[in-house]
Amino acid sequence: MQRAGFVDVAIVARHDPFRGTSKEKTARKFGVEGISMIARKPG
């Protein structure tokens, strides 16, 4: 994102979207998690 030019990049929340799915174990194995983040175009 910073390579694209974005600034003020920040992760605001983390989520566990695979909890309770058949892929939960795979997600845990690979360290997969959901995130919500913000970034800004300078201006």
Partner 1 sequence: MATSCPIELDVDQLRREISFIYARVAEDPTGDFHFHRGPGYAVSLLGYDAAEVAAVPAANSASFAGVGNPHCVAAIEAGETVVDIGCGAGTDLLLAARRVGSRGKAIGVDMTPAMAERARAGARAMGFDHVEVRVGDALELPVESGTIDVVISNGVINLTPDKDRAYAEAFRILKPGGRLQLADIIVANELSEKIRSDIDLWTG
Residue 26 in the binding site for partner 1 (CB under 8 A): yes
Is residue 42 within 8 Å of residue 7, measured between CB atoms?
A: yes
Is residue 1 within 8 Å of residue 9, measured between CB atoms?
A: yes
Residue 25 in the binding site for partner 1 (CB under 8 A): no
The least CB distance from residue 35 to partner 1, in Å, is 6
Secondary structure (3-state) at 27:
helix
The least CB distance from residue 4 to partner 1, in Å, is 4
**Site of interaction with partner 1 (CB under 8 A):** 1, 3-6, 12-13, 15-23, 26, 29-43
